[in-house]
């Protein structure tokens, strides 16, 4: 069996199984694909693929389905990620543009990616190691209650209500806001604690206690914004794929619910020359994802945050890889440098 025909027969089996969910037999391959050889030859080729561990026979079936190893060889033969159609690109652009709120953009992004791939879509919040203060706002809600708002240059907005401990006038709060914003605008979030101390000590003595309370609020918001988080959509697609998880869909749902598992998995996925990384079945370090595949790529200025999809190993890899890459590029463009 020549290597080119081996790959061609494997490709045909993967494509048919992904499309039909049914084990693939030699007769179906001859009827659907122009492989240029007889049914007997195809049967021999399938036996060779099975000996190589690339396909296997499910219980009580004459047909064959790809193994994790078979999917890996198939994916590795995808030399370049195909571009999306003009209509798909216009749909992405129309849905993602028009919002300056990071939470809204990420929610739209995962909904769109889930719709394009019919899988579960996940996206990490942008890493804020390089994020800087864009804006600070203080809103007086009651004489002692202040809404503290911190906006990073990534678009991330953090806010919380604090008690400053004593009555505070609108005029005094406005003065403090001007002082904080003037000193902290453009400050990297990881340097904010030190910078806040400098602002507090330069405040008039009469306002120093208020400034200290506001500084504590801003420091807490900065710490909160650095927490690893992700947004997810399309979990219902797993229910429709329940047949693709013969052992149990429970561990997959648990991995999604335990965000730390997905965040660690996304963070550990190495870069791929094609720009999209694929982790198949038991290649995933978490046992609960032994029947799942993850397709992901980086986004943002340094591509350090990840976006991707999770679904069964019986996945349309070329289309999924194209969608993940395209959506990541649009997301990077919207968030800017």
User: Looking at the DSSP assignment, which residues form a beta bridge with residue 122?
Assistant: 232, 308
How many whole angstroms separate alpha carbon 114 and alpha carbon 136?
A: 34
How many whole angstroms separate alpha carbon 222 and alpha carbon 215?
A: 10
Domains in the chain, CATH or no CATH each: 3-76 (1.10.10.10), 86-125+228-335 (3.30.450.40), 133-225 (3.30.390.10)
pLDDT per residue of the chain (337 residues) written in tens, 0 to 9: 578 888 999 999 999 999 988 899 888 888 888 887 888 888 899 999 999 999 998 876 678 999 999 999 999 998 778 788 888 878 787 777 766 677 888 999 999 999 999 999 999 887 665 678 999 999 999 999 999 999 888 777 889 999 999 999 999 999 999 999 999 999 988 888 889 999 999 999 989 999 999 999 999 888 776 667 889 999 888 877 666 776 678 888 888 888 888 888 888 887 777 889 999 999 988 888 888 999 999 987 777 789 999 999 999 999 999 999 999 988 888 876 5
DSSP 3-state of 175? helix
Whole-number pLDDT of residue 100: 66
Largest CA distance in the chain: 93
Whole-number pLDDT of residue 184: 94
Q: pTM for the full model?
A: 0.73
Residue 156 CA, distance from chain mean position: 17
Name, in order, each residue with C-beta under 8 angstroms of 321's C-beta and a sequence gap of 6 or more: 78, 81, 274, 276, 278, 295
Q: Are strands 230-233 and 305-312 parallel, antiparallel or unpaired?
A: unpaired
DSSP 3-state of 303? coil
How many whole angstroms separate alpha carbon 316 and alpha carbon 213?
A: 54
Whole-number pLDDT of residue 89: 79
DSSP 8-class letter at 81: P
The encoded tokens of residue 178 equal 């001007």
How many whole angstroms separate alpha carbon 9 and alpha carbon 74?
A: 10
How many whole angstroms separate alpha carbon 65 and alpha carbon 20?
A: 11
């Amino acid at each position: 069996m020549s290597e080119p025909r081996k790959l061609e027969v494997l490709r045909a089996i993967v494509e048919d199984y992904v499309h039909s969910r049914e084990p693939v037999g030699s007769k179906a391959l001859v009827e659907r694909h122009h492989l240029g050889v007889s049914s007997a030859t195809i049967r021999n080729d399938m036996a060779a693929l099975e000996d190589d561990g690339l396909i296997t026979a499910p219980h009580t079936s004459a047909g064959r389905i790809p193994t994790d190893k078979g999917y890996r060889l198939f994916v590795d033969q995808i030399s370049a990620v195909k571009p999306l159609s003009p209509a798909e690109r216009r749909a992405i652009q129309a849905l993602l543009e028009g919002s300056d709120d990071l939470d809204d953009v990420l929610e739209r992004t995962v909904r769109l990616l889930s719709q394009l791939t019919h899988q579960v879509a996940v996206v990490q919040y942008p890493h804020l190691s390089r994020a800087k203060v864009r804006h600070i706002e203080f809103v007086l809600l009651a004489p002692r209650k202040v809404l503290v708002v911190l906006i990073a240059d990534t678009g991330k907005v953090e806010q919380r209500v604090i008690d400053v401990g004593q009555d505070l006038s609108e005029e005094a709060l406005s003065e403090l806001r001007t002082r904080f914003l003037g000193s902290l605008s453009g400050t990297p979030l990881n340097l904010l604690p030190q910078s806040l101390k400098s602002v507090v000590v330069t405040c008039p003595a009469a306002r120093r206690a208020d400034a200290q309370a506001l500084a504590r609020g801003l420091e807490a918001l900065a710490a909160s914004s650095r927490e690893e988080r992700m947004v997810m959509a399309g979990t219902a697609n797993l229910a429709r794929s329940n047949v693709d998880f013969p052992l149990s869909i429970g561990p997959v749902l648990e991995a999604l619910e335990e965000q730390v598992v997905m965040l660690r998995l996304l963070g550990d996925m190495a870069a791929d020359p094609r720009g999209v990384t694929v982790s198949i079945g038991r290649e995933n370090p978490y046992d609960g994802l032994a029947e799942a595949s993850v397709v992901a790529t980086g986004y943002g200025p340094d591509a350090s945050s990840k976006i991707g999809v999770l679904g069964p190993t019986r996945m349309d890899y070329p289309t999924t890889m194209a969608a993940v890459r395209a959506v990541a590029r649009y997301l990077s463009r919207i968030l800017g440098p």
